[in-house]
Amino acid sequence: MKAKSPEADPDCDDNRIQRRARIALAAVCEPGEAGLANLIDMTSPTATVASLLAGRRTLVRVPRAEAIGRRLAALDLAALIDRGEEIGARVVLPGDPQWPGRLADLGAHRPLAVWCWGEANPRLHTVRSVAIVGARACTRYGEWVARDWAAQLASEQLSVISGGAYGIDAAAHRGALAVEGVTICVVAGGVDMAYPRGHEGLFAEIVERGVILSEAPLGETVRRRRFLTRNRLIAALANATCVVEAARRSGSARTASSAAEMNRPVLAVPGPVTSETSQGTHRLIHDGIATLAADVNDVRTAIDGMFVSPDPADGPDAVSASMREVLDVLPSSQTSSAGLRLEDVAVRSGALAPIALEQLECAERMGLVERRGTDGWVFRATLQRDGRV
Amino acid sequence: MKAKSPEADPDCDDNRIQRRARIALAAVCEPGEAGLANLIDMTSPTATVASLLAGRRTLVRVPRAEAIGRRLAALDLAALIDRGEEIGARVVLPGDPQWPGRLADLGAHRPLAVWCWGEANPRLHTVRSVAIVGARACTRYGEWVARDWAAQLASEQLSVISGGAYGIDAAAHRGALAVEGVTICVVAGGVDMAYPRGHEGLFAEIVERGVILSEAPLGETVRRRRFLTRNRLIAALANATCVVEAARRSGSARTASSAAEMNRPVLAVPGPVTSETSQGTHRLIHDGIATLAADVNDVRTAIDGMFVSPDPADGPDAVSASMREVLDVLPSSQTSSAGLRLEDVAVRSGALAPIALEQLECAERMGLVERRGTDGWVFRATLQRDGRV
């Protein structure tokens, strides 16, 4: 591993060393493979790196540890990090402000790190989000549904998550972009190697308004099996997954199963029984894995249902204590027409204005608060302050 | 009531008088209205007629008893019966060999009698049957599905039940007729007044190969509310109901609800979410009233499932003791290529040949036995002799 040694670099505190070790591990392991994430959390990234480099296989209960150790020894971490700085891509690690907490639902298969390229904050913009996925070889009907529903949901502050592929995925991203919404593209290779090449223009737009996200390091080309591990990431990031068109055995069906395993709502769009690309969605509905989505409102309802669960304080993206302090000072949308100005929210809640704004924007994405005019904030009257209806 | 008095007709035994009284009551009451069926069974048809004619309202817990009494007094029963003989239509009463026993599932709303016009035996031909219903204003897609699935099911000895209307209903009947299958048309008016008139040719074909069936007396014109009461009859006659296309609020949705109330399988065919005539079927699936039917096999499976219930001896159309005696002598389809000839079945089971044949034909419709060559019978090897798989 050709990284400067910690001793030689006075800027490197332990945290920074641990971060670099984790980025290195993420760059060389197979995404989603059980073992490494747990091992790192039980020991530390640097201890894991040391074990792997030394080939201590008894310590390392990791599949293919030897190969990982070899790749680790050959990794040019500095070049990888330089490349990120060069194009403006960043690594987000567990616990970072941008880390989407709900990735923890992947358990032992959780990613070690994600590379992000684009303006959007992956934590903030997955709080209210929907994955719209489906077949590459889709029909114009499916394309229309994906684009239309994505546009409707994105215009309501929901982020649209998909995989950047031809067909349904691209239609979903484009629908969100068409209404200047946020869209998140989860790719199987490096974020700078987004596939297919025919979508270069689309990817550039996503970087500008949304974010391209991947577990793979920069420069990594797409490999076939990575599509399947990538799909679990899409399911984990979104509140709900909606399959628009899919053949009977398909990656989208796999995304749907991943979402169902995490108890996330799964929806599927019906189509003519004569259409091959609707066979997969019909099977998901028939088998009880997905609920039939007859219109965009069915998707909306499934997502909103997540915010009225018996105890929304559970889970990493529920209303935090500091958000509640901000919410508590807001007037109700029923009693206040002008709302409370940001600086008053800050004064009354005791929070710094930028932090209060961040909480308000996050609460807005969660559907808890509304803006009034240019600088007014109200709490949505139909909800309890803890997010319950 | 202008009928010959019993005393004047030496042919009239009590049974015949009771039958005529029941036919008269069926002719004047509103189909499906609770009360009359129970009252008749608690007393007798003649006692009920007498009470109604005398206006004994305290005895008669029947809605609109006075109006029924007046209609009864004005009824020309002899002319009604003559008309039936003239065109070849018959009345079938509870307990008659042709009475479909499963109409009992309608409880207090069961019909008092049904008029039948056509060659098919409504009891025998509902033992394995499917209702295929849907919108009048259907699309060509829906029409195609109704016709194609009806043809496939009818060619497998399943009867196709529908309501004779334009659109899906007609397509279902036609699909069954196209493969020389049996189809049952349940109409809202008299069987000789079948509606719409544009279907006269279709109705004539159904009389020849199937049967037109109605609760209404001959000569009765169609009234709007009768369509709804007719729909419950379709649901009650069929093993399963499949809605092909339906608007959001529709008669077909009502048929589906009736079937669901009787714990019969309900299926609905999906279509494009952009199609108005698929909104009703999508709602039925979304709300859990119907299972999604992606192909004709889903319909088949739902019907076959009824013959493998934990105790198929329950219910009026399960394997009877006399049928089991016949089934018990048959060789298995796995061990016998020629099968057992009818006369040998009769000798070994101790049944008269015509009765053995009737049982075999009924068992064939239930999917329990198969013909081999011109006169061979075998038991389907995958099934237990009591109909269990």
pLDDT at B59: 58
CA distance B20 to chain A (A): 49
pLDDT at B227: 84
Nearest-10 Cα torsion for A306, A307, A310, A311? 110
To 5 degrees, how large is the angle CA A126–CA A130–CA A133?
125
Question: Is the Cβ–Cβ distance between B327 and B380 less than 8 Å?
Answer: no
B273:A293 CB<8 A: yes
pLDDT tens digits along B232-266: 999 999 999 999 999 988 889 999 999 999 999 99
Lowest mean pLDDT segment, chosen from A216-220, B11-15, B82-86, B295-299: B11-15
pLDDT at A208: 96
- Cis upstream peptide for A196 (omega within 30°): yes
Sign of CA dihedral B198, B204, B209, B215: positive
Of the residues B280, B308, B336, which one is the last residue of a structural domain?
B308
Question: Is B177 within the bounds of a domain?
Answer: yes
- Range B324-332 average pLDDT: 80
Sign of CA dihedral A318, A324, A326, A329: positive
Question: Is B90 within the bounds of a domain?
Answer: no
Instruction: Label each residue of B284-326 as H, E or C.
Output: HHHCCCCEECCCHHHHHHHHHHHHHCCCCCCCCCCCCHHHHHH
Lookup: tokens for B7? 């005393």
B270:A274 CB<8 A: no
Question: Is B330 found in the same domain as B215?
Answer: no
Which ipTM score applies to this complex?
A: 0.73
- Range B201-205 average pLDDT: 97
Distance between CA atoms of residues B229 and B248, nearest Å: 19
Asked whether residue B323 carries a pLDDT value surpassing 90, the answer given is no
Question: Is A145 found in the same domain as A262?
Answer: yes
- Range A182-189 average pLDDT: 96
pLDDT tens digits along A99-150: 998 898 998 889 999 999 999 999 989 989 999 999 999 999 999 999 999 9
Question: Is A313 within the bounds of a domain?
Answer: no
Question: Is B65 found in the same domain as B149?
Answer: no
Asked whether residue B312 carries a pLDDT value surpassing 50, the answer given is no
Distance between CA atoms of residues A372 and A352, nearest Å: 21
Sign of CA dihedral A253, A256, A261, A267: negative
Residues of A in contact with B270 (CB under 8 A): 270-273, 278, 282, 285, 292
Question: Is A271 found in the same domain as A359?
Answer: no
Interface test with B, best of A242, A292, A300, A301 (most B CBs within 10 A): A292
pLDDT at A384: 45
Question: Is B222 within the bounds of a domain?
Answer: yes
Question: Is A72 found in the same domain as A105?
Answer: no
H helix intervals, B117-199: 140-154, 168-178
pLDDT at A373: 83
Lowest mean pLDDT segment, chosen from A121-135, A337-351, B20-34: A337-351
Give the residue on A whose Cα is nearest the Cα of B149: A273
Residues of B in contact with A269 (CB under 8 A): 273
Higher pLDDT, A305 or B376: B376
Mean pLDDT of chain A: 87
C-alpha dist (Å) from residue B61 to B19, B45, B65, B154, B292 = 21, 14, 8, 43, 42
Residues of B in contact with A295 (CB under 8 A): 273
Question: Is A279 found in the same domain as A166?
Answer: yes
Q: What percent of chain B has pLDDT over 90?
A: 57
pLDDT at A33: 76
CA distance A279 to chain B (A): 7
The domain that holds A369 is classified in CATH as 1.10.10.10
Question: Is B303 within the bounds of a domain?
Answer: yes
Distance of CA A67 to the CA centre of its chain: 29
To 5 degrees, how large is the angle CA B74–CA B75–CA B78?
135
pLDDT at B285: 97
Distance between CA atoms of residues A211 and A205, nearest Å: 9
Q: What percent of chain A has pLDDT over 90?
A: 57
CA distance B292 to chain A (A): 5
Neighbours of B344 (CB within 10 A): 16
pLDDT at B63: 77
Sign of CA dihedral B151, B381, B266, B358: positive
Of the residues A43, A77, A111, which one is the last residue of a structural domain?
A77
Lookup: tokens for A110? 């959780």
Question: Is B367 found in the same domain as B298?
Answer: no
Question: Is A325 within the bounds of a domain?
Answer: yes
Of the residues B285, B308, B331, which one is the last residue of a structural domain?
B308
Asked whether residue B32 carries a pLDDT value surpassing 60, the answer given is yes
Question: Is B190 within the bounds of a domain?
Answer: yes
pLDDT at B159: 96
- The predicted model scores a pTM of 0.76
Distance between CA atoms of residues A218 and A81, nearest Å: 9
Domain count, chain A: 3
Lowest mean pLDDT segment, chosen from A54-63, B127-136, B254-263: A54-63
The domain that holds A238 is classified in CATH as 3.40.50.450
- What type of residue is B173? H
Interface test with B, best of A279, A286, A295, A300 (most B CBs within 10 A): A286
Question: Is B182 found in the same domain as B34?
Answer: no
Which residue range forms the structural domain that includes residue B325? 321-379
Question: Is B60 found in the same domain as B122?
Answer: no
Question: Is A227 found in the same domain as A356?
Answer: no
Q: Is A204 helix (H, G, I), strand (E, B) or coil?
A: helix
Question: Is B275 found in the same domain as B346?
Answer: no
Interface test with A, best of B273, B284, B285 (most A CBs within 10 A): B273
Neighbours of A372 (CB within 10 A): 17
Question: Is A361 found in the same domain as A295?
Answer: no
A273:B278 CB<8 A: no
CA distance A139 to chain B (A): 11
Lowest mean pLDDT segment, chosen from A288-297, B33-42, B258-267: B33-42
Mean pLDDT of chain B: 87
Residues of B in contact with A141 (CB under 8 A): 272, 274
Question: Is B91 within the bounds of a domain?
Answer: no
Report the Cα–Cα distance between both ends of chain B, in Å, rounded: 53
Q: What percent of chain B has pLDDT over 70?
A: 89
